[in-house]
Amino acid sequence: MPALPSRAARRALLPLAASAVLLLAACSAATGDATGTTGTAASGTPVSGGTLVYASGDAEPDCLDPHVGGNYPQALIAGQYLESLVSIDDNGRIIPWLADSWEMAEDGLTWEFTLRDDVRFSDGTPLTAADVKATVEHVQDPATGSSTGYLALGKVAGVEAVSDTVARFTMTAPDSALLESLSQPWLAIESAAGIARGLDENCQAPIGTGPFAVDGWVKQDHVALVRNDNYSSPPADAAHEGPAYLEAIDWRFLPDSASRYAALQAGQVQVIDNAQPDTLAAAASAGTFTEIDAPRPGASNRLELNSGQAPFDDALVREAFIRAVDVNDGIDSLFFGTAERSYSALSSVEPLGYSDESLFGTDLKKANALLDEAGWSEKDANGIRVKDGQRLSLAFPVSTNQSIPAEQSLFEQVQATAAEAGFEVVITPLDLSSWYGALFTNDYDVVSAPYTKVGPDVLRILYHSDSITPAPSGYFANLAQLSDPELDSLLAQAASSLDADERQTLYTAAQKRILGSFTVLPLYDQQNHFLLSPTLHGARAIGTVSTPSFYDAWLSE
């Protein structure tokens, strides 16, 4: 099976055509375009000034500093005022950002990053290596409560400011994912002076080098962002230099999907995120708005089958489940063509993703034969298979915070099609905390848990057997409970392999083992759709974790 073609161009900007059919056509056209320009077609000369109103459907962050905790809603907004050492372009290549250049020692145990010498924070102080050191120490300090950034710095022993412009990272082991990790907004560089103000103050308004700065935060309403007039550090793939065109961004929280779209239609806002499939279909037929389709990196959205306990400890039963459920019809009818079926454990924007459609074809006859072979040959009065007095019942806790309504409906389709082979799937919708609780007490057989991270190292977090051992908190990331020594060894080698070709070979082999274990049923990329008003130009999603950038953006009348 071939590896996935680099589909970084999936982070594409689609002019919404007059019909859903045209939408699909535009989508495939954009897929072929790898020129790297994802900006809104620059119609006319950019105009300075104006306030952009952004409507976010994500949860309002508790803290505007993404070092604290570290989730996607924080990444969305932090991208406006914080920047990272490196970025990633549309082809998935690492490009310079706050660091001009970097060099790794041959043993992979030290890295030296040379910073740009002309960058100032929004408070006017210059960026130096001391700020990089302060950032890493802040993330690694348990008192900060960092989760995402903390895990990504697992192999970093410390940072030393060699000079004002050179920061030296010391590693405990070679880390092939270091640059990918550092590109993430959860490890964005903050001012040492800002961090020194203490957690509470820093949460209200972190100080970064980004094109905008936090000017105020009215809880449950909006965050006011103003242009950073000192700005001088666009990433290497930006379209212009100097300060941003927009004077300000009014970042509002609009939790209801229908009112978000209504606000866009009424011209109250110029961008909405978390556009749902029905909204996208409506927007496609209206033809007024532009869509940015920017799948998140890291893992695809997928069902994990818990191989750590019966009945999925039997590979035959896992394969039977995967052969029994029909996902494609559900995706077609529930997502209106806005989501493309995935056959990979990784997002389609990951250059090292490997895909194998042949493993996931629906085949009810084969499913039945596999279950018979596994000893689940009898059925009870309800058509559910039985073995030794046990019913073939699967617990499926669903997080209503993480699964959008279309996805929850898709899970009901999974339930219905699995029933045809004699599986009883018990779906339990839960709030986030109860859902975590169900996972920690091993009270699940099927689960969908998104994971956003830049690069294929996400596979180590999700499928290395070390990730089965629960932390003191009860948390473990390997929800498939896949325990395969050969896979462990492939993932460990890949994580420390400093040779690009060898790394690719190792990750491909690892993904073959993961998909072949039938513990994973890929669904689609983590959906991430934005709708833009026709008055907004030059907005794009950046190649790290697919968050929007409004640095090149401007408003026309």
261: CB partners within 8 A, 6+ apart: 272, 275, 279, 282, 283, 531
Nearer to other proteins, 100 or 247 (CB): 247
Cβ 432 to other proteins shortest distance, Å = 7
| Binds other proteins by CB under 8 A, chosen from 97, 102, 113, 150 | 150
Does residue 329 bind other proteins (CB under 8 A)?
no
Nearer to other proteins, 58 or 372 (CB): 58
Q: Angle between the 315-324 and 364-373 helix axes, to the nearest 10 degrees?
A: 160
Does residue 435 bind other proteins (CB under 8 A)?
yes
Strands 424-430 and 393-399, bridge-based pairing: parallel
DSSP state of 407: H
Task: Decide if 213 contacts 206 (C-beta within 8 A).
Answer: no
| Binds other proteins by CB under 8 A, chosen from 221, 229, 357, 373 | 221
| Binds other proteins by CB under 8 A, chosen from 35, 358, 382, 473 | 473
Considering only residues 262-301, where is the footprint of other proteins by CB under 8 A? 262-263, 265-266, 268-269
| Binds other proteins by CB under 8 A, chosen from 64, 254, 370, 418 | 254
Does residue 535 bind other proteins (CB under 8 A)?
no
Per the DSSP assignment, residues forming a β-bridge with 52 are 249
Cβ 59 to other proteins shortest distance, Å = 6
Q: What is the largest CA-CA distance in the chain?
A: 76
Cβ 439 to other proteins shortest distance, Å = 10
Gap between the Cα atoms of 44 and 86, Å rounded:
30
Written as one string, the DSSP assignment of 258-294 is: HHHHHHHHTTS-SEESS--HHHHHHHHHH---EEEE-
Binding segment for other proteins (CB under 8 A), chosen from 100-108, 213-221, 337-345, 354-362, is: 213-221
Cβ 504 to other proteins shortest distance, Å = 26
Give the CA angle between residues 446, 336, 480 to the nearest 5°.
15
Q: Angle between the 485-496 and 500-516 helix axes, to the nearest 10 degrees?
A: 160
Gap between the Cα atoms of 537 and 15, Å rounded:
12
Does residue 230 bind other proteins (CB under 8 A)?
no
Helices (H), ranges, 205-267: 257-265
Does residue 223 bind other proteins (CB under 8 A)?
no
Gap between the Cα atoms of 77 and 58, Å rounded:
10
Cβ 438 to other proteins shortest distance, Å = 7
Gap between the Cα atoms of 320 and 374, Å rounded:
9
Cβ 509 to other proteins shortest distance, Å = 26
* CA dist list (Å): 330 to 34, 46, 284: 30, 43, 20
Does residue 426 bind other proteins (CB under 8 A)?
no
Gap between the Cα atoms of 104 and 364, Å rounded:
52
Binding track, positions 71-110, relative to other proteins; x by CB under 8 A: xxxx------------------------------------
Does residue 362 bind other proteins (CB under 8 A)?
no
| Binds other proteins by CB under 8 A, chosen from 196, 471, 498, 500 | 471
Q: Which residues contact other proteins (rule: CB under 8 A)?
A: 55, 59-63, 69-74, 142-148, 150-151, 199-200, 203, 218-221, 252-256, 258-259, 262-263, 265-266, 268-269, 399, 401-402, 431-438, 440-441, 450-452, 461, 471-475, 477
